[in-house]
């Protein structure tokens, strides 16, 4: 691919300072400016948060965060120390993991099985079921709170008895339509020859799923895991509804919201807390992104 790209560039390269050359250069520069601009616009709040979290309380209140980037440098880790020791942020992070991991694993697992059925198994009503599922994508979440909560209460599925099970199931439900949709489309794009070949080779449905479909779908599953994990980790509304704000069960998002009420004046601590909650999804993303290997199908069928 690289060789081709190089070759293509070679072909279209115009002589220096000709009009075509200038317009090509301009296009390139413009492209870079736009990309860098967008990236910067997206990064600024995060950088501001990051910088502020290392500043002293008085500085935060008196000057803008950018002044910290010029000498004299006066950074501190006090904010982090205070947040981690005093508040119950540590416990909230633990709660967030307790919620996010099952709330990612459950829907991803169910979705993988369901998507395989939708993509490669023939059963009556398949297309209508799939359509109904896609239609669920359009249902606003808020609409479901009252009926779902009522049902939970009536069957006793409340945090006091069942811990996080209720919120796991809720997140699984909210995540499934998109997850199934994404995976089914990916599975469908796998070459049908592979399935037929496996069938002749004697592989049953489950063997095909575990030995062929799953290994080939690692990129799709990795992106799904990232999406779902980020969504659950950053979610405040669903957690507030199904878990509540009680200290021992509240996830990071809920605790942060509470902090910003109680620490209205002390938002130097808030910056540190917020950054801590941001760093985890970032780590998840970076550690999973190497699975987005492109061209994983290369070599299977003539392309």
Partner 1 sequence: MASVTYDHVVKRYTADVTVVKDFNVEIKDKEFMVLVGPSGCGKSTALRMLAGLEQISEGRILIGDRMVNNVAAKDRDIAMVFQSYALYPHMSVYDNMAFPLQMQHMKKSEIDTRVRNASRILGLDNFLKRKPRALSGGQRQRVALGRAIVRSPKVFLLDEPLSNLDAKLRGQTRVELQKLHRDLQTTFIYVTHDQVEAMTMGDRIAIMNAGILQQVGTPGEIYDHPANLFVAGFIGTPTMNFVPASVSDSTAKASGFEVELPKSLPSGKGTLGFRPEAVTDRVAEGSPQFEMKVDVVERLGSDQFLYGQVGGDQVTARVDPRMAVAPGDRVKLGLDTRSMHFFDAESEQALL
* Element at 242 (helix H, strand E): helix 237-242
| 25 vs 211, beta carbon nearer partner 1 | 211
> Does 121 contact partner 1 by CB under 8 A?
no
Out of 84, 194, 222, 257, point to the residue binding partner 1 (CB under 8 A): 194
- The least distance separating partner 1 from the CB of residue 143, rounded to whole angstroms, comes to 42
Tell me if 270 sits within 8 A of 263, measured CB to CB: yes
The residue among 58 and 196 lying less far from partner 1, judged by its C-beta, is 196
Which residue, 158 or 203, has its beta carbon nearer to partner 1?
203
Regarding 295 and contact with partner 1 (CB under 8 A), the answer is yes
CA–CA dist 221, 213 (Å, integer): 11
149 binds partner 1 (CB under 8 A): no
Separation of first and last alpha carbons in the chain: 13
Q: Are 269 and 259 in contact (CB under 8 A)?
A: yes
Stretch touching partner 1 by CB under 8 A, among 49-57, 119-127, 137-145, 192-200: 192-200
User: Out of 34, 36, 38, 301, which residue is the one contacting partner 1 (CB under 8 A)?
Assistant: 301
- Do 119 and 125 meet the contact criterion of CB atoms below 8 Å apart? no
Find the part of the chain contacting partner 1 (CB under 8 A) among 33-41, 158-166, 175-183, 187-195. 187-195
Do 232 and 170 form a contact (C-beta atoms < 8 A)?
A: no
Q: Is residue 302 close enough to count as binding partner 1 by CB under 8 A?
A: yes
- Please give the structure tokens belonging to residue 57: 């309380």
Q: Is 222 in the site for partner 1 (CB under 8 A)?
A: no
- H helix or E strand, kind and range, residue 212: none
Q: Does 201 bind partner 1 (CB under 8 A)?
A: yes
Instruction: Give the range of 35-43, 239-247, 282-290, 295-303 binding partner 1 by CB under 8 A.
Output: 295-303
196 binds partner 1 (CB under 8 A): yes
Residue 62: phi, psi to the nearest 5? -100, -40
* CB 220 within 8 Å of CB 183: yes
Our CB check for partner 1 shows the closer of 2 and 85 to be 2
Distance in Å, CB of 183 to partner 1, minimum: 17
**DSSP code for 15:** P
Kindly state whether residue 202 participates in binding partner 1, applying the rule CB under 8 A.
yes
DSSP string, 169-190: HHHHHHHHHHHHHHHHHHHHTS
- Degrees to nearest 5, angle at CA 133 with 127 and 138: 130
Tokens of 59: 């500085």
Instruction: State yes or no: residue 294 binds partner 1 (CB under 8 A).
Output: no
Judged by the rule CB under 8 A, the positions of this chain that interact with partner 1 are: 191, 193-194, 196-203, 207, 211-212, 215-216, 295-302
């Amino acid at each position: 691919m690289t060789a081709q790209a190089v070759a293509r560039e070679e072909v279209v390269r115009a002589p220096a300072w000709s009009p075509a050359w200038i317009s090509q250069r301009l296009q390139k520069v413009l492209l870079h400016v736009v990309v860098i601009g967008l990236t910067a616009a997206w990064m600024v709040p995060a950088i501001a948060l990051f910088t502020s979290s290392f500043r002293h309380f008085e500085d935060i209140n008196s000057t803008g965060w950018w002044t910290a980037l010029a000498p004299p440098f006066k950074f501190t880790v006090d904010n982090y120390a205070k947040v981690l020791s005093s508040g119950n942020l540590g416990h909230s992070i633990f709660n967030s993991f307790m919620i996010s991991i099952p709330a990612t694993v459950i829907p991803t697992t169910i979705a993988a099985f369901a998507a395989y059925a939708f993509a490669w198994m023939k059963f009556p009503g398949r297309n209508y079921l799939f359509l109904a599922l896609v239609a669920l994508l359009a249902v606003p979440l808020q609409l479901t709170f009252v009926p779902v909560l009522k049902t939970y209460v009536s069957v006793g599925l409340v945090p006091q008895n069942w811990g996080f099970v209720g919120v796991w199931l809720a997140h699984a439900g909210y995540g499934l339509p998109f997850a199934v949709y994404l995976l089914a489309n990916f599975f469908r794009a796998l070459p049908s020859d592979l399935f037929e070949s496996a069938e002749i080779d004697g592989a049953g449905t489950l063997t095909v799923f575990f030995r062929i479909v799953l290994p080939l779908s690692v990129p799709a599953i990795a992106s799904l895991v990232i999406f779902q994990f980020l969504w659950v980790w950053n979610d405040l509304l669903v957690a507030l509804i199904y878990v509540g704000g009680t200290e021992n069960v509240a996830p990071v998002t809920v605790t942060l919201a509470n902090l910003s009420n109680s620490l209205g004046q002390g938002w130097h601590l808030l910056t540190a807390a917020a950054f801590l909650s941001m760093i985890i999804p970032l780590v998840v993303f970076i550690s999973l992104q190497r699975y987005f290997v492109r061209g994983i199908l290369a070599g299977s069928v003539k392309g």
